[in-house]
Amino acid sequence: MKLLVVGASSAIAHETARCFATDGAALFLVGRSAEKLAAIQHDLEVRGASQVVTYTLDLNDLAQHEAMIDAAFEALGGLDAALIAHGTLPDQAAVQASVEQALQEFQTNCLSAISLLTILGNRFEAQRRGCIAAISSVAGDRGRSSNYVYGAAKSALTVFLSGLRGRLEKSGVAVVTIKPGFVDTPMTAHVKKNPLFAKPDAVGKRIYTAMLKGQDVVYVPWFWRYVMLLIRVLPESMFKKLSF
């Protein structure tokens, strides 16, 4: 397996990459911090990866996406799969007070992913095989007052992935939408934990399995599919009064 991992220094992406490393996969890791990428590279090599290449990039620099993907294809001699896992969880009070910050978070959590998916979709469609996975969120299933900027970005990403999946189905390319619920990672370090929080290693293993099987939409853990089903069917007159 030749795998591109974007946002490779995130806890979930790292755990997913560990699963592929034990299979002897070749990995191209992309992230902002060279220091973090170097540590993850060493970890994956120890776990059995056949090749690990790192690439430092601010993913909000959309003009550099094509060059990064070119580098991944060249370094690994092609790609079998790609995982897009970068993102940020903004402070809702800050983003609702600032147009600039709201748009910046939308850029990070949606537009940068759409840029990557557009380039990768065209490349994978041409080679007529492979798997593209991206991490969206259950927050995209319905806008909540406590995080609707983040949720709106993930909702748009989910819809984009749905359309891309329908298009690439005809070329034999799988598009996997990952919808995690609460995950105990550095991104949620400031959030009070409860029994609904999942561990990143369990989420990583589920993403690994979903990518191998080429599944369509995967809620992680599984029960979030039914939690969000209930949330989606609540009448708006009731939903708008909830404070979560």
Active-site option among 55, 148, 150, 226: 150
3-state class (DSSP) for residue 144: coil
Separation of alpha carbons 154 and 136, rounded Å: 5
Residues 6+ apart with CB under 8 A from 142: 151, 228, 231, 232, 239
What's the rounded Cα separation, in Å, for the pair 208 and 173?
16
> Looking at the DSSP assignment, which residues form a beta bridge with residue 178?
135, 218
Active site residue 55: no
Determine how many CB atoms are found less than 10 A away from the CB of residue 17. 28
Q: What is the DSSP letter of 141?
A: G
217-220 and 2-6 beta bridge pairing: unpaired
Give catalytic residue positions.
150
